[in-house]
Structure 1
């Protein structure tokens, strides 16, 4: 078997079971690293790409973009890494390095030759994966490697808004939707020192959510509960993809506060402009995070012992893991352990 051969699990068409798949990845380029995969998270975005829900997939698709593994090969121009070093790889695998956002340290907003790890690129449902060296993020020695994968996508997605909105321990932050993203947000915000309120449609989870870091839990669909929170939140972080009464939720935002979207509602967001103008409020959103933000997150998570709640499957059981996630049974992130023979 060639050193450029990668063994993987791939979808040959939308909504089909993944099957074993081998391919020749070609020669490693000067700026790439190759990573031997140890663990890879399973994210809803993987499902969207496998099923071509976004219309950008080309088959066969090898998904997986929450990779933990060890550097096995280095291109001649790869910097700051060494063979055997444990690294993480998230949503992005390549960026151009020369556009204004890249030069400014915001590679996640690259306007040049940006490449996602699982779009026209083979991801981490495999024994090996490749990426540009800047996107291979060194792991702190004391981080938990089984649960670290989801931090590279879900974790950084909810961490980036804290930096963009200058959130400190003085602030009160609300989190809407306590699933794969929201539960990590609660853990991060508690460690950040914020006052934290969880918005949920299921108050039966109150004690569980408080165990994750919520100081308060409210029903996101209860108008009276929202009315009682008028002007309370410096930031509301929305992770949901369902329509809600955004105009009413906006009333809970403090002057100069924001609702920040990392989930994508299925319908356009509608709020009265006067509410934004009169309170200097904002609707904002963000993608995942650039390499520096990923490094900061992993260091913070290691120092504060922040671990996403995961369910572990062998990668050979990947179709079972996908069925579990699609059925809405995951609590709260699924991680695959590579078990190629």
Structure 2
């Protein structure tokens, strides 16, 4: 259980105010490239619009690894990663009506936004023009640094807390808060459904969710993976076809077939080869984060009225919609549940592609 205390802080000018704080157990990266280790961190007191969540499971995303290893620039160490959070409500603020103590809930990739810009008002809080606040390693609007889900408890504004339906196993639900919405949003936006041909590039943490969701939407699903080693898995997950992208004959055989190609990998690709797979008016949508820019031949776009696009998670309403969709269709991530003490080993295994398909930390093993 968290332990309470008080600290003094300064608001504006010389006016001081005492804030109640709570210390909780966590696992953090103390510095760039250093192994994660147990620690304690401070959570804010529950405000009138807040929810205190007793975390049950926290998924490991490749973004966590990039962050703590400094791949994405300097970070405000120590950093507690984790933006795939599932737990139960332990306390609610006086103004909270949507969640009650005991409810199972989830938190995804961000925990605040301005809620006043055109994007926020439209329900695209992930594109907040004033800068959305990530679940960890970001300065929140009160000046504190956010810390993520590799911990026992977290306090989050109720607007950014999702309800996790009973129909999803809580451990399998955690990765839905990132991998699930990252694939659901573009599949929905670009019309995956009956009569549509959808290709999923890559069969990892994102790709395996893309296959499950596209199949549930009614599309005919093809997986394009580097080799044939995951073919059996892909068909089990709901793919109708599977091809090795390392076989150049694949691109000739599939030319002009797909209404949508969803790229889930972060490796550099010959994007023009993939654009040739598109049918007229087809779209290549990128949700991976390759290290190098794509080089697009304009003729790959002009011939066939092709589109190259990108997508990033989803807003609060769409994320809730995704969770409800997954519950309705019996969809959860394929997970390997680990104790917190195995997190550093899990990072190495993610980098070696030795997980099928998402690690999830049992946070009862923290502290």
Normalising by the residue count of structure 1, what TM-score does the alignment of the two structures yield?
A: 0.96
Match of 1:252 among 277, 286, 290: 277
| Equivalent residue, structure 2, for 1:273 | 298
Alignment of 1:178 with 2:203, yes or no, is yes
Match of 2:153 among 104, 128, 131: 128
* 1:94-123 deviation line (CA, Å, top 9, x unaligned): 111111111111111111252100123110
* 1:49–1:118 CA contact under 8 A, matched in 2: no
* 1:32-81 deviation line (CA, Å, top 9, x unaligned): 22211000101111111111211152011011111000111223333411
Alignment of 1:77 with 2:102, yes or no, is no
* 1:223–1:248 CA contact under 8 A, matched in 2: no
Alignment of 1:32 with 2:55, yes or no, is no
Call closer, same or farther: CA 1:288–1:56 in 2, change over 3 Å. Answer: farther
| Equivalent residue, structure 2, for 1:22 | 40
Greater mean alpha carbon deviation, residues 130-139 or residues 71-80? 71-80
* 2:192–2:214 CA contact under 8 A, matched in 1: no
For residues 342 and 236 of structure 2, the distance between their equivalents in structure 1, rounded to whole angstroms, comes to: 30
Is the partner of 1:25 in helix, strand or coil? Answer: strand
Alignment of 1:9 with 2:34, yes or no, is no
* 2:43–2:154 CA contact under 8 A, matched in 1: no
Aligned length: 341
| Equivalent residue, structure 2, for 1:47 | 65
| Equivalent residue, structure 2, for 1:319 | 344
For residues 160 and 172 of structure 2, the distance between their equivalents in structure 1, rounded to whole angstroms, comes to: 19
* 1:218-264 deviation line (CA, Å, top 9, x unaligned): 12133322112121100000011112221121111011111000002
Normalising by the residue count of structure 2, what TM-score does the alignment of the two structures yield?
A: 0.89
* 2:44–2:155 CA contact under 8 A, matched in 1: no
Matches within 5 A, 1:78-157: 78-120=96-138, 121-157=146-182
| Equivalent residue, structure 2, for 1:300 | 325
Alignment of 1:163 with 2:188, yes or no, is yes
For residues 23 and 199 of structure 2, the distance between their equivalents in structure 1, rounded to whole angstroms, comes to: 47
| Equivalent residue, structure 1, for 2:360 | 335
Match of 1:203 among 228, 232, 237: 228
| Equivalent residue, structure 1, for 2:268 | 243
* 1:121-148 deviation line (CA, Å, top 9, x unaligned): 1100000112221111001122111211
1:307 Cα shift? Answer: 2.0
| Equivalent residue, structure 1, for 2:286 | 261
For residues 327 and 218 of structure 2, the distance between their equivalents in structure 1, rounded to whole angstroms, comes to: 16
* 1:95–1:132 CA contact under 8 A, matched in 2: no
* 1:178–1:200 CA contact under 8 A, matched in 2: yes
For residues 71 and 47 of structure 2, the distance between their equivalents in structure 1, rounded to whole angstroms, comes to: 31
For residues 282 and 169 of structure 1, the distance between their equivalents in structure 2, rounded to whole angstroms, comes to: 21
* 2:227–2:246 CA contact under 8 A, matched in 1: no
Is the partner of 2:323 in helix, strand or coil? Answer: helix
Unaligned runs of 5+ in 2: 5-20, 139-145
* 1:177-216 deviation line (CA, Å, top 9, x unaligned): 1111111111111111110110011113222211111111
Alignment of 1:290 with 2:315, yes or no, is yes
Call closer, same or farther: CA 1:56–1:111 in 2, change over 3 Å. Answer: farther
Unaligned runs of 5+ in 1: none
* 1:56–1:119 CA contact under 8 A, matched in 2: no
Is the partner of 1:321 in helix, strand or coil? Answer: helix
